[in-house]
Structure formats: C-alpha cells, structure tokens
Amino acid sequence: MRCDEVLQLLTAFSAGDVPVDVRPAMEAHLSDCARCRAALARVDVLAGALAGLPPPPLPEGLASRVVAAARQRHEAKPVAPGRSLPWWRPTSAPMRAAAAVAAFAFGIWGATELSQPSAAKAAGDNVQPAAETVLRDWFEAAPQDSLASRYLAAIKAEED
C-alpha cells in the first residue's frame, strides 16, 4: 500500500474498522513507515480526546415532549394503517369522478409539455441532487490544493 492510501484509512484502522483483506497490508506498511506510524499515533490521541468527552446530559422530559407533539400531529392527521382498505375505497363517487377528470387534464398537459424545451429542464432538476453527490464524491478524491479541491472548498464556503 502507498502512504496516501494508508493515511486515508487511519481513522478506520484506529477504530478496528478496516476490512480484514486490507488490514495485513496496512499493518505491513505501518511497520515499515515511521511517517504513517506517527500519523496513526496522532489519530489515536484525537480519538481518545473525543471519546473522553462525557455524553451530554439528556434533557428531562425530552421523550414526553416528542410523543406529545406526535399525538398532536396524529390527531390532526392519523397515521394511515399499513393494511387499510384499498386506496380507492374511502373516496366518494364525486371525488373519484373529479380525480378522473384531473388525471385526464394532466395527461393532456403532460403530452404538451414533453414536446417543449421546459420538459428537459424539469428532468434536469430531478436528477441534479444525485449528480451533485457523485460530483462531490469525485472532487473529494482530488489532491489537496488542486483546482477540483479549491472548487469544492468554494462550494462548501457558499453552503456554510
């Protein structure tokens, strides 16, 4: 293994969370590389400092307040039972007729929209979050101080 690969996995190694097929190679590298051993020691110090922090005391009555809020919401909008009547049964006949008219109108509108450029934009909006996650993962793999890492830092600064 190379140093950069080992350094990337030190936190997991310190927590005993490295896959068994990777662990021997990591141990072999650490026994030969003083720089990575020093980095591992720093990881252990940091892990110890964070783990040594006492857990924040739980506020009294937290669960009761959550449940009270849930009951309030439940009374306004009961949880739909998982094995309730079929979805079409509780509706009245006029509502079913209105739904059929709305579905027909939506179909006409959809057919019109699909032939226009705005449909492409709407589809793009739908896929954007997934694409953003993939790009972000990809940029995070870029070396420090590279153009990609500076771009990622600029995005984060904007979000923060």
Q: Which residues bind to other proteins, rule: CB under 8 A?
A: 7-12, 15, 17, 42-43, 45-47, 49-51, 53-59, 62-63, 65-67, 69-71, 73-74, 78-83, 133, 136-137, 140-141, 156, 159-160
Min dist CB 100 to other proteins, Å, is 24
Least distance to other proteins, CB of residue 31, Å = 21
* Least Cβ distance, residue 50 to other proteins (angstroms): 4
Which residue number, 119 or 153, has a Cβ lying nearer to other proteins?
153
Nearest CB to other proteins, comparing residues 79 and 93: 79
36, exposed or middle or buried, with CB in 10 Å at 0-12, 13-18, 19+?
buried
User: Which is nearer to other proteins, 54 or 117 (by Cβ)?
Assistant: 54
Is residue 22 within 8 A of residue 50, CB to CB? The reply is no
- In the complex, minimum distance from the CB of residue 28 to other proteins, in angstroms, rounded to a whole number: 19
Cα distances (Å, whole numbers) of residue 62 to 30, 68, 142: 46, 10, 43
Give the span between the Cα atoms of 24 and 46, in whole angstroms. Answer: 24
Is 66:42 a contact under the CB 8 Å cutoff? no
C-beta of 97 vs 153, nearer to other proteins: 153
Taking the complex as a whole, how short is the minimal distance between the CB of residue 122 and other proteins, in angstroms?
23
CA–CA gap between residue 85 and residue 106 (Å, rounded): 26
26 CB-near residues (< 8 Å, 6+ apart): 1, 6, 9, 13, 18
